[in-house]
Copies of this chain bind each other. A is one copy, B any other.
Amino acid sequence: MLCRKGKRTMKTQRLNVIREVLTGTPVTSQDELRRKLRRRGIHVTQATLSRDMHELQLFKGPHGYSLANGNGTKTSAAEEDDQPPTLAEMLDSFGLRVKQAMNQVVLGTLKGGAQPVAAALDREDWPEVAGTIAGDDTVLVICTDARQAGEVAARLRTILQG
């Protein structure tokens, strides 16, 4: 193998240069990056760059690679450890009471809790639920008929009582 250049922190060194190059000029392929690095005396293969890219958590967008951090793509940047909260957790935090009215279920929550609770409920994707609408402290759950509403209400109560 060819490593005639440096000695110990070869890799971290290279990662830094990559970061620098990327913030400076747009790069649209790993091979292009490879050529740019070569001009700076760093000689690696595309395979290595692929691994580097992964390690640097880079995003590839319409205008080339970018760092997940500073510029674009805040969308899903810093959300790798928390899953969306479960319905049980949400009800535990915000849920207050459950009432049924024909094919609807009215779910009372703490102030500001309706929105997140509804989102969690949507995520569960229960077949009896046609949809939900959330205000500030009340979630309206629409079911396909009264029977299903009863079922849903019971299930919500169960979770709530835990």
* A-to-B contact residues, CB < 8 Å: 54, 57-63, 66-70, 72-73, 75-76, 80, 99-104, 106-108, 115, 118, 122, 130-138, 140, 142-145
Nearest Cβ on chain B to A37's Cβ, whole angstroms: 17
Nearest Cβ on chain B to A126's Cβ, whole angstroms: 12
Nearest Cβ on chain B to A86's Cβ, whole angstroms: 15
Q: Which of B62, B70, B73, B106 contacts A54 (CB 8 A)?
A: B62
Task: Tell me the complex Cα distance, A18–B57, Å.
Answer: 24
Nearest Cβ on chain B to A73's Cβ, whole angstroms: 5
Residues of B within 8 A of A58 (CB): 61-62
Chain B residue with the shortest CB-CB distance to A132: B138
Q: Which of B59, B76, B138, B144 contacts A133 (CB 8 A)?
A: B138
- Given A140-B140, A145-B101, check contact A72 B68 (CB 8 Å): yes
Chain B residue with the shortest CB-CB distance to A107: B131
Q: Is the CB of A101 within 8 A of B144?
A: yes
Q: Is the CB of A68 within 8 A of B76?
A: no
- Given A60-B60, A135-B134, A138-B132, check contact A145 B102 (CB 8 Å): yes
